[in-house]
Amino acid sequence: MELRQLASLEAVLETGSFAAAARARHVAQPALWAQVKGLERELDVPLFERVGRGVRPTAAALALRERVRRVLEDLRRLGAFAAELKAGRALPAVLGCAPYSVPHLLAGCFETLQRRHPDLPLPVVVPITSSSGPGALARADLDLAVMPFVEELDFDGERLYPVWISVLGRGVPSGAPFDVRRLDGQPVATLPPDTAVGMLLRHACREAGVSPRIVLETRDVASLQAFASRGLATSVVVSDALGPEGARKAARLALGKRTFEVELWLYRRRGAALTLAAEQLRGVMLEAARARRPDRPRPAFWPLPAAAAATGSRARR
């Protein structure tokens, strides 16, 4: 299978005919036809069928279309990266994190990074969840990932700081524990079940034997805050999404005397060498995290449910 064959297939699918595809690819139509027919033989599936004087894609060609597009796009990006390396320019670090980490942690880190290392490109931020993050890091789609600590994750990890599950709503006491049993039968707005908050809330409800009515699941924290402020639901969010002042005022989800807290860690693939940009980003993030840790003994953190762990044995502490 050759790159030009995939490019020719994409061109025919995009333009709708071999003649138009040949013009777009700046090749002779017989040559382009031969490339597509060669791909058909290699895949052993028909890609086009004749209709009158023209052709139309088969179901197999349409099924392959998006995958072919992604392969070609990845190859184009690879070429761009190679050109950057040849020109002596550093590649940006790719960091995976939940979107709420950007305004209250990463924006400041990026500002510090740009001030100290103006020649380095700003990092690329990829939104992840507690469920999607481990796979993306294992596939090397990311250089670094901010995720809740899970012992079973087979990555090198470094502690950042703790976050807790916050509760918002009318009648919710400010800055006090909020027992999960008060949610029984009540309307609740929260983050989806593939997030740490979603996992821990459901875990807490099962342990307490309560069944809240989930009326809204969204990653949009502003919507969760709006539902809480208008009395439409009790909203359950992560403290980091509220900023330092908002987190201080919000109630903390609890079960009896135990509050629901997790630690955020900065993970990378075990033994992987970081690029210059990723190494500098790591240093700035660890520095910022040390300034955010509370001046109190480390609590006994709730572990994420086993479903949150994606691979292997425990991460290094």
Burial 167-189 (b: 16+ CB within 10 A, else e): bbbeebeeeebbbbebbeeebbb
Q: Are strands 258-259 and 177-179 parallel, antiparallel or unpaired?
A: unpaired
Fill in the amino acid letter for 129.
Answer: T
Helix (H) or strand (E) holding 282, with range, is: helix 276-292
The domain locations on the chain are: 3-86, 94-161+264-308, 162-261
Q: Tell me which of 3.40.605.10, 1.20.1260.10, 3.40.50.1370, 3.40.190.10 is the CATH number of domain 94-161+264-308.
A: 3.40.190.10
Local confidence pLDDT in tens for the 317 residues of the chain: 788 888 888 888 888 888 888 888 888 989 988 988 998 889 888 888 888 777 888 888 888 888 888 888 878 777 766 665 565 556 789 999 988 888 888 899 999 999 998 878 889 999 998 889 999 999 999 999 999 887 778 899 999 988 889 999 988 988 889 999 999 999 999 999 888 888 889 888 998 999 999 999 998 989 999 999 999 999 999 988 888 788 888 999 999 888 888 889 999 999 888 887 899 999 999 999 988 776 554 544 445 544 443 333 333 33
Look at the domain 3-86 and name its fold: Arc Repressor Mutant, subunit A (1.10.10)
Condensed to tens digits (0 to 9), the pLDDT of residues 159-192 reads: 998 888 999 998 898 888 999 999 999 999 999 9
Q: Is there a common fold for 3-86 and 94-161+264-308? A: no
- Separation CA 154–CA 135 (nearest Å): 11
- Separation CA 110–CA 202 (nearest Å): 34
User: What's the predicted TM-score (pTM) here?
Assistant: 0.64
Condensed to tens digits (0 to 9), the pLDDT of residues 273-312 reads: 888 789 999 999 999 998 877 655 454 444 554 444 333 3
Q: Are strands 213-217 and 234-238 parallel, antiparallel or unpaired?
A: unpaired
Which architecture, in CATH terms, is 162-261? 3-Layer(aba) Sandwich (3.40)
